[in-house]
Structures are given as structure tokens and as C-alpha cells.
Amino acid sequence: MLTPHLQAQGLAVQLLELPSVGSAVAMGLAQDARHLSAVLNRIAGPVVLCGHSYGGTVVAAADANGADVRHRVYLCAYLTQEGESVESSLRQAGERRPGHWIRRRPDGRTGVDAERAAALFYHDCPEPTQSWAVAQLRPHWGQAWSDPAAAPMRRQHASTYVVCSEDRVLAPRIQREIYGTRAQRLVSLGSGHSPFLSQPQQLAQLLVAATL
């Protein structure tokens, strides 16, 4: 839903599937960051990176020295610092049960509580969109949540953190007071955890602004 709005502004869009999502082999943050770095090095021209949720950790950890990255946008993202994991950063922020909506599997993978997924991730989307989105969810290797971040790349580029003020997954307070302070610019969007589905036009405007 977001992509057509960006393409209408003349922007090329590339979506990235992370190795730690849906893989049959255990993968974590390091593999995700290396994958993003490899993709970036194949792109000619300026790049605006947008990392959503866990994807923000990947964007912060990837090595982009070989790419023309102009701006990084963290969308209701876990923006971890060097040595932090998603889980440890949430505990430090006061979360007693980080990822309380996650269901851990015996093989080390995790999944979202199916009965709560729509209400948590997509509550501000129409019901057909909710049903479609829940059907797209795939297992995610648990080590991605506990792997400590390497030295971040964020010091090298301009950055914006987008607080989603109606988020039911990552508390807006933590977004604003913890992760948001680690970016150069802070903006707010009155949406839940998935504005690319609920408010694609408004989100596209924010991303286009990052290219200017």
C-alpha cells in the first residue's frame, strides 16, 4: 500500500526480506545486517533507508560505507545501541515482559500470538487489511531479539525517528524517550504499529521529506 505512493513521487522502492524471518536455518542480527549491507552495495544512486520495528535494529547495525546512504528513517523501531539487544534495551527502558506478545517455539523460532496479532499490529486498519496482514506473518528466529548490536552506522548519516503514537506493540513512551533520542530528528504519526498499511499516504510524505 505504501509503495505506489512513493513511486508516484518518482522514487524507486526496494523491499528487503530479512534472513532471520522465515528461514529454516537459525539466523540473527549479524546475518540480517550483512544481508542489508550487501544489498546496499549493489544500489547505484542515493538511498533513504527505512527500518520498521526490528528492522530499525538492522538498519542501525548494517555497514553502509560502500553505499550512498543519505538518510535513515526509523519507523516505530527498536533503535539499539552498541552492545544492546532488543530485549535488553526494552528491559532497561522499564519493560517487565519484553515482547509479551511473542510465542517462543521449541526450535528457537518465535511467532506472534495469532489471537492478538490483529488487535496489536493492525488495529487501525480495515478488517480485510487486518486479515491479509496476519496471514503474511512468518516465524522469526528468537536470537534476532537477543543478539547484541554491533557498532552502529547511524552516526554517519542524517536520521529521523517516527513515533507512532497509537502503537500497541512498542510503547510510544519508549519510542519517544529512549529510541527517538538516538536519532537526529523526531516526528510523530498518529498511527498504530503498521502505518504503511493504515496511513500509507501520510507515511509516504514523511519518507519523501527525508529525500529533500
Is 169 inside a domain boundary?
yes
Predicted local distance difference test score (pLDDT) of residue 131: 96
C-alpha distances in angstroms, 194 versus 19, 45, 173, 205?
Answer: 21, 28, 17, 15
What is the C-alpha separation between 13 and 50, in angstroms, rounded?
11
Report the chain (212 residues): mean pLDDT per 10 consecutive residues.
94 95 94 95 92 96 87 96 92 83 90 92 97 95 92 72 97 96 96 98 92 74
* Beta strands 69-75; 47-52: pairing state: parallel
The pLDDT score that the predictor gives to residue 97 is: 76
Kindly state whether residue 63 falls inside one of the protein's structural domains.
Answer: yes
pLDDT at residue number 66: 80
Domain membership of residue 88 (yes or no) is yes
Tell me whether residue 125 is in a domain: no
Q: Which residue's entry shows cell 501520510?
A: 202
Domain CATH for 196: 3.40.50.1820
Q: What is the structure's pLDDT at 183?
A: 95
Predicted local distance difference test score (pLDDT) of residue 212? 72
**Domain span at residue 192?**
3-21+29-96+148-210
Number of domains in the chain: 1
C-alpha span between 204 and 48 (Å, rounded) = 12
- 102 domain-assigned: no
* 119: in domain: no
Is the residue at 122 inside a domain? no
36 within domain boundaries: yes
pLDDT score, position 99: 76
